Amino acid sequence: MTDDYEHYEAVVVGAGPGGAAAAATLANNGVETLVLERGVEAGSKNVSGGLIYAEQSAPYTIDGLFPNFREEATERPADEYYLHNVAGNKVKTVDMTDLHHTDTEWCDSVLRRRMDGWLEDRVHEMTRETGGGLLTEVRVNGLLREGGEIVGVTCDELDPIKADVIVAADGVNSELARDAGLMDWDEPDEWFQGVKAIVDMPEGAIEERFDIREDEGEAHLFSGDLFEGVRGGGLLYTNEDTLSIGTVFHLDSLVAEQAEPHELLDALLTHPLLAQWLGDDYEEIEYGAKLVPDSKKVAHPSPHEGRLMLVGDAAGQMQAQGPIIKGMNHAVTAGALAAEAFAQAQARGDESTAGELYEQKLRTEGVMDKLRPPQYELASVVGENERVTELGERVVNSPLGRAGLKVAEKTGVLERGFNSPFVMSIMPDTKLPYVTIPTALGEALGDRVTDENTIQPPDLADRIGDLTYDVGDPHIELVDNSFAASGDAVSACPVSATDFGGGCYRDEKVKTNGSEEHLVSLDTQPCVECGTCAIVADTDWDHPAGGKGVEFKQG
Amino acid sequence: MPDIDPTDHEIADLGPKIKDVEDVQELEEMLALEKGGEDRVPVKTLIEDRIEKLSGEEETVDPSEVDLADQTVADIANLVREVDDGDVLRDMLEREKDGKDRKSAKEQIESRIDSVEGSDEDESEDLEYVPPEEKHPDLDHPTADKQWVHAIEDGVYEDMWVYCETQQGDLINVSKEMLGKARGLMDEYNEEYDADEQVIAVLIGDSVEELAEVCIAYGADVVVYLEDDRLSRFRHKSYTEIFCDMARGAGHPYGRADRPEEDWRDYDEPRYTVFPATNNGRDLSALVQGELDSGLASDCSDLFIESAMISNPAKTGRPGEKKEFDRILHMKRPDFSGFEYSTILCIDKPFREFHPQGASVIPGSFDLPDPDPEREGEIVEHEMPLDDEWFRVEVTDFDQLDSGVDLSGNDVVVALGRGIGDDPTEGIELGLDLVDQFEDADLGLSRGVITASYQFAGHVEQYVGMDRQIGESGQVVEPDVYIAAGISGAVQHKVGMDESDTIIAINTDPEADIVDFSDYFIEGDLFDVLPELTESLEKGELDVKALADGGNTTDD
Ligand SMILES: Cc1cc2nc3c(=O)[nH]c(=O)nc-3n(C[C@H](O)[C@H](O)[C@H](O)COP(=O)(O)OP(=O)(O)OC[C@H]3O[C@@H](n4cnc5c(N)ncnc54)[C@H](O)[C@@H]3O)c2cc1C
Ligand SMILES: Cc1cc2nc3c(=O)[nH]c(=O)nc-3n(C[C@H](O)[C@H](O)[C@H](O)COP(=O)(O)OP(=O)(O)OC[C@H]3O[C@@H](n4cnc5c(N)ncnc54)[C@H](O)[C@@H]3O)c2cc1C
Ligand code: SF4
């Protein structure tokens, strides 16, 4: 019976940048390739901040694999890059353009629906030539095994499919990586949560308010005291005629502070500093969110198992270099390297060596060193030590520390530090670099912003109301509905909030026989599939079936 | 000058336009224009690709020489279709084996070899019937109870029979859908085969005669019905016996001995039978088709009649031979949850006839036709003795399965939201008390209540379920009066109720969204306001109807 299953040389799961690069490279090598994507169109499930890098040192770049990528699938180049250190109304802006351009061939802002949708067409054409193709609205729900060996994938919508190689490019919360036992979803400190709003800009407003031409763009980053002490920061990128404005926080910190992600985003949106760009009429087109892996902690050193190879977010290959976020480019590189490894192994007549070869390439091509900088492993031992952090905080906040900052600025040490890839790669995951130092910088050196920000971001109910959903069966099951086990999700879920009845997670006090229980209930209809509650609540977490669930139009 | 001047267009618009251009000459001209004009690289690539594609298509590939490694499996499938020479095909097979050795490619070539050469293989003699017990002596009397096989030999089969299921004295929609479809199929059939076969509607039940005209209006030529008090509810034994007795003509070897001739028909069994894939229809279809010893394609979503070229030796009788069977009902049914379809054919084989060709049809698969009251047809009452044995099973009691609550027809809907959270059971009780004050009212809920972890006491639990949800993913209601207590008015709830004539909201929060689209807003705790409302209605102090008609308003 099992021999009747459809067979392809390669099956690629997920059509984000990682899957697209893998499929294109497989097709270029003449490998019969089938790509399975759960969204109604590639990109309809994906959210990113939006800067895609092409690194000079990388063996593969997206425009190398897909000619005309920049002309047809991106928004604007990110020419300039600023970090704003905020303390109340005072802001100290540091120009980080140098760091941004270090090892950068080019860097453009993107919107994922447009970008991934464009890639989908190319990938389909290319893979069809090999006898395969790209199918949307198919959700892979697990690995097909025979005698304990991985031999293919199983899907909600199709019969199992066998393959000589399976490339799992299914993003953060990869069900295949979980099924293979390569990744787990246990520790909040291994992830960031990204939340983003796409804001409509009247014609000509971007050029006028940022003082740039139509073919220019900017990136602005924000840190300091505007996020209730939660570790992380904000971002603003210019698109063709919209802005991407978002926040990225360490998930453990978000949970520890019981912070509401949408309120933190609002804190950024309504800060006086943004008034110059947002004007008086605020029109939000889309609200979205997604978990982001922290490669320093989770990039898998050996991301393969039998015929399965993990690439991109599925393997934790998402690098946060200070405020610079590099996930898409590494997903592209890894996808192409995995494909290259398989093609080589196949040519040598031993496909079983593909995984090893891929791992080796990640190392020799320098990808692994970027994802898990050796210097970080050393520095974190000291940097994340609580006493050191405390000490650091006290020094920075002392008069002496303040004086030091001023000296640092005068002598240029400050800009140099912010523009040093080395310093940025060893930033410890503590409040020190995210909150304490930027706040101190803003206070000691910042200029006061006098603009008034009058905009009113939509409330959560309206944000949910503006999203498009194709309602399916609940895809997340609450295993333990006690508040103690799953209550963190009420605040951490980007579409839920304490005292909001319209979210996924709701906090409820239920009376039973005289005693009162503190519970949470879950309705998955407003879910944006960010993956947060897979980690912070006690759930059985799956993605919705193909084509079901939220559909992002921007991403 | 080409129709499209690329320099007039944005890149994004050009893609689809260029795809539609079929003429290489025109494309060359476009390319020249672009080069002389804006000279955009992507545009040139687009046009060049298209030129390459079109020129490529014209090249003919020689199957005996082409490098198969350059061809996709689909290309190979197309290629072999043109080849009739077995040697060329065998050579291709070898080349594929030496080259990419793709299983699917080899299958394509092999199956072509089979079809070009199959029929030349040794002409076998005429088949001879060997009863199964002789053919398979090693098996333990494989057909010991052969007596129930009631297939006939050299039978005459005509017409399409449609079993028309009724519920509560009416035809259910799928019965009408099937009649409409059968009408279309048989009209085409009669044209194609120059025949005069009919659509026969079958009605069995307690008082079904009155529905015969309806069946005709929906497309039947003849309605055969049988009525009996004992048939008021579906019971499979009696219904199967009756259907089969109707189906078998006079003189049928396994039919009732005294079955009389009938003017309107002159055949042994129906050619086609169609049943609804409802609970009862599935039950009946399986039993009837089994009793008539034919097959059944269950849960079909499409039907069409065509001839079919068959090479299966079980059907043709001779390996390697192809035979065309005509008038075959193609019965399409979804597999893999609708991702793929199989088409089921029910075809006679040597020494065994498979008729009627039977299907059950998923409700909603075909359009509901417009009835034509002018249509004429024949109505035939079927007479036969009904054996008491068939009614041994007595229906002593039955319950109308809860097909959910229909809130749409009420004058008043009282809807409760998460505002009941402090005491959910009492909240529902208060809502029900208010419902009782109206003649024609019912209780609705927001989704927020239904998906909550609230625990309800047993006596109100039955009122809390998806079947009372109002909104985008629930029901849409437009009552005269909609009372929303403790509901915030999320847009997904709003779309289910904002067409109501008068909306009265009760909420502790004057800023709640629902206030924006309510006619009356009562600011207050629903645990106080609902009992007050109920009380004043009871005492006749308040006339909600009058409110709805724009009468006096009460204070808040
Ligand atoms: C707010 C935010 C800001 C970010 N900013 C940046 C940035 O500026 N620059 C940058 O480079 N990166 C950024 N990232 C990270 C970046 O988005 C990811 O690293 C990148 O998208 C990873 O690519 P991928 O191909 O591995 O996975 P994804 O892009 O997530 O693609 C996975 C694909 O697999 C599909 N899929 C998942 N499961 C299944 C299944 N079971 N069956 C079938 N299909 C499935 C999904 O629908 C999806 O299309 C940001 C992320 C966020 C959330
Ligand atoms: C794709 C999708 C489909 C959906 N489909 C539906 C649908 O079909 N139907 C539906 O209803 N929802 C639907 N929802 C959910 C909807 O968004 C809301 O979450 C839901 O309607 C909220 O229910 P609620 O008003 O009862 O709860 P809440 O929003 O929590 O509102 C409770 C209200 O009660 C008030 N209140 C509290 N205590 C009291 C008191 N003691 N007395 C009076 N007032 C009080 C509060 O002020 C508040 O306004 C859908 C959501 C999505 C994303
Ligand atoms: S329910 Fe879970 S996955 Fe869905 S949006 Fe909330 S936290 Fe994210």
Q: Which residues contact B438 (CB under 8 A, 6 or more apart)?
A: B411, B412, B544
3-state secondary structure of B43: helix
Answer yes or no: do B72 and A131 touch at CB < 8 A. yes
Q: Which atom of ligand 3 is nearest to the CA of A493?
A: 7
Residue-wise pLDDT for A265-289, tens only, equals 999 999 999 999 999 999 999 999 9
Is the minimum CB–CB distance between B336 and chain A shorter than 8 Å? yes
Nearest-neighbour CA in chain A from B354: distance (Å): 28
Query: How buried is B55 (Cβ within 10 angstroms: 0-12 exposed, 13-18 middle, 19+ buried)?
Result: exposed
A79-93, A501-515, B57-71, B204-218: the lowest-pLDDT one: B57-71
- Tell which one of A260, A532, A548, A550 to mutate to probe ligand 3, the residue whose CB is within 8 A of the most ligand atoms: A532
Range A2-75+110-183+300-371 has CATH code 1.20.120.420: no
Topology at the third CATH level for domain A473-551: Alpha-Beta Plaits (3.30.70)
How far from the centroid of its chain's Cα atoms is residue B461's Cα? Answer: 34
pLDDT of residue A196: 98
Are the C-beta atoms of B324 and B309 separated by less than 8 Å? yes
Answer yes or no: do B453 and A508 touch at CB < 8 A. yes
CATH class of the domain whose range is B412-551: alpha beta
Q: Which amino acid is at A393?
A: E
A482-496, A531-545, B313-327, B541-555: the lowest-pLDDT one: B541-555
Residue bearing tokens 């029979």? B161
> Is it the case that residue A97 has pLDDT exceeding 80?
yes
**Any residues with Cβ below 6 Å from ligand 2, and which?**
A 464, 469, 471, 501-502, 525-526; B 417-419, 446-449, 469-474, 486-488, 490, 492-493, 496, 506-509, 512, 525-527
Give dist(CA A81, CA A99) in Å, integer.
9
> Looking at beta carbons, which residues of chain A come within 8 Å of B336?
157-159
CA angle B295, B296, B302 (to 5 degrees): 135
pLDDT of residue B115: 77
- Where exactly does CATH 3.30.70 map onto chain A? 473-551
- Where exactly does CATH 3.50.50.60 map onto chain A? 2-75+110-183+300-371
> Is it the case that residue A535 has pLDDT exceeding 60?
yes
Q: Which amino acid is at B125?
A: E
Q: Closest-CA residue in chain A for B474?
A: A471
Residue bearing tokens 């199959």? B118
pLDDT of residue B288: 96
Tokens of A138: 């198919």
Confidence class of residue A417 from pLDDT cuts 50, 70 and 90? confident
Percent over 90 (pLDDT), chain A: 82
CA angle A109, A111, A116 (to 5 degrees): 115
A234 DSSP β-pair partners = A222, A247
CA distances from B484 to B289, B468, B489 (A): 53, 13, 9
CATH number for domain A76-109+185-293+376-466, candidates 3.30.9, 3.30.460, 3.40.1350, 3.40.50? 3.30.9
Give dist(CA B187, CA B195) in Å, integer.
9
Q: Give the ligand with the smallest distance to the CA of A171.
A: 1
Give dist(CA B510, CA A512) in Å, integer.
31
CATH class of the domain whose range is B157-391: alpha beta
Characterize A327-343 residue by residue with b for buried, 16 or more Cβ atoms within 10 angstroms of its Cβ, and e for exposed.
bbbbbbbbbbbbbbbbb
Measured N-to-C along each axis, helices A399-411 and A437-445 cross at an angle, to the nearest 10 degrees, of: 80
Give dist(CA B524, CA B486) in Å, integer.
9
Of A145, A147, A177, which is closest to residue A534 (Cα–Cα)? A177
CA distances from A313 to A58, A100, A129, B398 (A): 17, 22, 28, 57
Q: What is the pLDDT along chain B (556 residues), one digit of tens a residue?
A: 788 888 888 877 787 788 888 888 888 898 888 888 888 887 888 888 888 877 766 556 788 888 888 887 778 887 888 888 888 899 999 998 888 888 888 888 888 888 777 654 444 556 677 766 677 666 665 444 445 556 788 899 999 999 999 988 899 999 999 999 999 999 999 999 999 999 999 999 999 999 999 999 999 999 999 999 999 999 989 999 999 999 999 999 888 989 999 999 999 999 999 999 999 999 999 999 998 989 999 999 999 999 988 888 888 877 777 888 999 999 998 765 555 678 899 998 888 889 999 999 998 889 999 999 999 999 999 999 999 999 988 888 887 766 678 888 899 999 999 999 999 999 999 999 999 999 999 999 999 999 999 999 989 999 999 999 999 989 999 999 999 999 999 999 999 999 999 999 999 999 999 999 999 999 999 999 999 999 999 988 887 777 776 544 444 4
3-state secondary structure of A50: coil
Task: Give the containing element (helix H, strand E) for B17.
Answer: helix B11-20
Give dist(CA A167, CA A159) in Å, integer.
18
pLDDT of residue B146: 45
Give dist(CA A368, CA B155) in Å, integer.
76
Tally of CB atoms within 10 A around B121? 12
Q: Closest-CA residue in chain A for B337?
A: A157
> Is it the case that residue A78 has pLDDT exceeding 50?
yes
Closest in B447, B453, B492 to A465, CB measured: B492
In angstroms, the first-to-last Cα distance of chain B is 76
Q: Closest-CA residue in chain A for B42?
A: A68
Answer yes or no: do B74 and A520 touch at CB < 8 A. no
> Is it the case that residue A424 has pLDDT exceeding 90?
no
pLDDT of residue B526: 97
Closest in B418, B447, B453 to A481, CB measured: B453
β-strand B302-310 against B170-171: which pairing, if any?
unpaired
Q: Choosing among B75, B420, B446, B453, which should be mutated to test the A contact, i.e. which has the most A CBs within 10 A?
A: B453
Sign of CA dihedral A285, A287, A290, A292: positive
Answer yes or no: do A506 and B448 touch at CB < 8 A. yes
How far from the centroid of its chain's Cα atoms is residue A519's Cα? Answer: 30
3-state secondary structure of B189: helix
**Ligand 3 site, residue A54, Cβ cutoff 6 A:** no
pLDDT of residue B245: 96
Q: Choosing among B451, B455, B491, which should be mutated to test the A contact, i.e. which has the most A CBs within 10 A?
A: B451
Answer yes or no: do B72 and A130 touch at CB < 8 A. yes
Compute the distance from residue A534 Cα to the ligand 1 centre, in Å.
16
Compute the distance from residue A46 Cα to the ligand 1 centre, in Å.
6
- Domain residue extents for chain B: 6-58, 68-117, 157-391, 412-551
Task: Give the containing element (helix H, strand E) for A122.
Answer: helix A112-128
Closest in B11, B454, B488 to A72, CB measured: B11
β-strand A218-224 against A80-87: which pairing, if any?
parallel
pLDDT of residue B144: 46
pLDDT of residue A2: 47
Sign of CA dihedral B60, B66, B72, B74: positive
Nearest-neighbour CA in chain B from A343: distance (Å): 14
Tally of CB atoms within 10 A around B319? 13
Q: Give the ligand with the smallest distance to the CA of A544.
A: 1
Give dist(CA A306, CA A151) in Å, integer.
8
Global pTM value: 0.71
Highest averaged pLDDT of the listed ranges A112-126, A419-433, B390-404: A112-126
ipTM field: 0.83
